[in-house]
C-alpha cells in the first residue's frame, strides 16, 4: 500500500513503526492488520537485541472510512536481550512524546501483554 495513502488513513506513528500485512474489505467494515517493524527500539540501542516474536494481537476500533467501520489488528514485537535474556518491548510512552500519538493510546499499547 502507498505510504502517502496510509498517512491519510492511519496515525503517523503506525505508518512509521508498523507494516500493513493485510487489508480485508467486508460489506460493513475494513480490517487492517499491522505488525511492528523489525527495527529495534532506540531506548535499547546499547544492548544486543534479537526479535523474539510478538505480543498477543490487539484489536483497536478506528475512525470509519466511507461509512464502513475500521478495525486495526495490531501485533507488537518483543525483543530478547542476548546478554541478560530479558524480554523487552518498545516504550510507547517515550515514543508518544515525539509523535502525534495520544498519551492514552500509548498507555493502551504499553499496557497490552
Q: What is the pLDDT of residues 48-96, one digit of tens each?
A: 888 889 999 988 888 888 899 988 898 989 989 888 998 988 776 544 4
In the chain, count of helices (H) and strands (E)?
Answer: 4, 7
Half-sphere exposure (Cβ direction) of 72: Cα atoms closer than 13 Å: 23
pLDDT tens per residue, range 18-36: 999 999 999 999 999 999 9
Rounded Cα–Cα distance for residues 100 and 112 (Å): 20
d(CA 42, CA 69): 34
Task: Locate the domains of the chain by residue range.
Answer: 3-111
Q: Write the DSSP symbol of residue 83.
A: T
Enter the DSSP assignment of 96: H
Between CA 23 and CA 11 the distance in angstroms is 16
Amino acid at each position: 500500500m502507498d505510504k502517502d495513502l496510509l498517512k491519510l488513513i492511519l496515525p503517523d506513528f503506525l505508518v512509521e513503526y508498523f507494516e500493513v500485512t493485510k487489508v480485508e474489505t467486508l460489506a460493513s467494515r475494513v480490517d487492517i492488520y499491522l505488525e511492528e517493524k523489525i527495527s529495534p527500539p532506540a531506548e535499547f540501542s546499547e544492548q544486543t537485541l534479537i526479535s523474539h516474536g510478538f505480543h498477543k494481537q490487539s484489536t483497536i476500533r478506528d475512525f470509519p472510512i466511507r461509512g464502513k467501520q475500521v478495525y486495526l489488528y495490531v501485533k507488537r514485537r518483543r525483543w530478547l536481550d542476548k546478554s541478560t535474556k530479558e524480554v523487552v518491548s518498545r516504550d510507547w510512552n517515550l515514543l508518544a512524546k515525539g509523535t502525534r500519538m495520544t498519551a492514552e493510546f500509548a498507555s493502551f499499547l504499553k499496557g497490552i501483554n
